[in-house]
Amino acid sequence: MNRVFDPPRLARLLVSWEIGSSVGRQFVVEAKRDGAEFIEAEHMLLALAASADSEAAKLLHEFGLDHKRLVAALRAERRQTLAFVGMTATDTKLGEATERDGPPSLGTSAKVAVRRALIGSRHDRRRARLRGTDLLAGILEAEFGTVPRALAIAGIDRAALLSRARGSE
Amino acid sequence: MTSNPSPVGGPADGLAAASALRAIADRLEDAEVERAMRAGWSWSQVAEALGVTRQAVHKKHLRRLLMAQIELRRRNNE
């Protein structure tokens, strides 16, 4: 299963997705905007929402989720998480550090989402073809972590959204 | 005990907080190691302050600090 995560294979998958490699570039944009060291599932979700004409973005929109609403949901999740230890977002303002060179690599939640997308999709394995909705489903399968927390706090029916993502043609 | 715990509230909030604090600690370390090295601290001093080995701090931060074009102290000057 680890071969799924080697960079050349992942790059081929990205290029073969319905929304192409631009979504892969958007992963990096979203991770960097978040100041994150790794691309995580929430950055992939934001990237899918940002690709306005894709099936994944249309489906998210049906559930009231565009990029802006997702950002707000993730902020609300962050607030609730930090509140557990008596902190606010202001408490986490730290000194600036020079960024590491090169694009951030995939974090654990992102790798798991890709793996789940591949396992659950009906993609053509010979051509390693994967759709944006497959990745969306892979992201939505997570029961714990930042994405399901943000969706729960925002009152989004994750199970219904997952069902639609898996069933979409 | 429940077989289908919620992703929010209870232990889920605590676990999410632990994960968030780990990321915050990593960012804080990046920023403060850079600040110390800009101020002329040695690798050994930074390592001792962090409670890790010189090798560990070197491995983790050298590439980034070189990118930041910080003048690093050589070992024989420490």
Predicted model pTM: 0.85
**Residue B2 included in any domain:** no
Average pLDDT over residues A128-135: 80
**Residue B5 included in any domain:** no
Gap between the Cα atoms of A27 and A48, Å rounded: 9
- For residue A163, the tally of other CB atoms under 10 A from its CB is 13
Residues in chain A with CB shorter than 8 Å from the CB of B27 are 35, 37, 94, 97
Q: Which amino acid is at A10?
A: L
pLDDT in tens, A79-118: 999 999 999 988 878 778 888 777 788 899 999 998 898 8
What residues make up the domain containing B72?
A: 10-77
**Residue B51 included in any domain:** yes
**Residue A97 included in any domain:** no
| B7 sits in which H/E element | none
SS3 of residue B58 by DSSP: helix
Contact A147, A59 (CB under 8 A): no
CB-based contact (8 Å) between B38 and chain A? Answer: no
Residue A45 pairs in a beta bridge with: none
SS3 of residue B61 by DSSP: helix
Nearest Cβ partner for A98 among B21, B24, B64: B64
Of chain A, the percentage scoring pLDDT greater than 90 comes to 51
Closest CA to A100 of B74, B61, B26, B50: B61
End-to-end CA distance of chain B: 56
Determine the Cα angle at A88 with ends A83 and A92, to 5°.
125
**What are the E-state strand segments in A38-119?**
none
Q: What is the DSSP letter of A85?
A: T
Closest CA to A84 of B18, B43, B4: B18
CB-based contact (8 Å) between A124 and chain B? Answer: no
- Domain CATH code at residue A69: 1.10.1780.10
Question: Is A1 or A23 the better-scoring residue by pLDDT?
Answer: A23
Which of B30, B37, B61, B62 to probe by mutation at the A interface, max A CB count within 10 Å? B30
pLDDT of the residue at A111: 92
Gap between the Cα atoms of B73 and B66, Å rounded: 12
SS3 of residue A151 by DSSP: helix
**What ipTM was predicted for this assembly?**
0.82
Regions of chain B where pLDDT drops below 70 = 1-2, 74-78
What residues make up the domain containing A84?
A: 2-92+104-167
CB-based contact (8 Å) between A163 and chain B? Answer: no
The residue written with tokens 């232990």 in the block is B11
SS3 of residue A155 by DSSP: coil
Query: Considering its fold, how many domains does chain B have in total?
Result: 1
Query: Considering its fold, how many domains does chain A have in total?
Result: 1
Q: Count contacts between A and B (CB, < 8 Å).
A: 68
**Residue B61 included in any domain:** yes
**Residue B52 included in any domain:** yes
What tokens does B21 get?
């604090």
> Considering chain A, what is the average pLDDT of its residues?
85
Which of A34, A90, A144 to probe by mutation at the B interface, max B CB count within 10 Å? A144
